[in-house]
Amino acid sequence: MTAVGRRPSGELPEFSYLEVATGAVVLERVDAGEVDLAILDGESAPIGGLGLAKQLKDEISDCPPVLVLTGRADDAWLATWSRAEAAVPHPIDAFRLVDAIVAVLRGRHAA
């Protein structure tokens, strides 16, 4: 499913997002260069988003930034292990999530 999102605070241009159900589709899309930011659920099964983030970083030479949603704030060390650029813990705070997305994308566009 693709949808157009709104600009947070006018800092980024309009964007679209794609929601997928499997790690295989994430790998396919990232490998094809179709992803500017991957937001992965660290608690998903059978392969969690943390493991998938690590796999993306290990296997894709020009991997886009990854933000992982962790089960709790104490799981931030797992996000570091996965090489994700950002982590947001559950329960998800929409403002914190948007701030993390903007920070990651701002850093990517500045590079």
Contact 75, 61 (CB under 8 A): no
Q: Which two tokens stand for residue 32?
A: 């094809």
In which band, very low, low, confident or very high, does the pLDDT at 4 lie, cut at 50, 70 and 90?
A: very low
Whole-model pTM: value is 0.84
**Which pLDDT does position 48 carry in this prediction?**
87
Q: Which residue has the higher pLDDT, 16 or 79?
A: 79
In which band, very low, low, confident or very high, does the pLDDT at 6 lie, cut at 50, 70 and 90?
A: very low
- CA dist 17 and 45 (Å) reads 21
Q: Which residue has the higher pLDDT, 14 or 10?
A: 14
**Interval 17-69: pLDDT, tens:** 889 989 999 999 999 999 999 999 998 877 789 999 999 999 999 999 999 99
**Interval 85-94: pLDDT, tens:** 999 999 999 9
**Hey, where are the domains in the chain?**
25-110
Contact 102, 11 (CB under 8 A): yes
Topology adopted by domain 25-110: Rossmann fold (3.40.50)
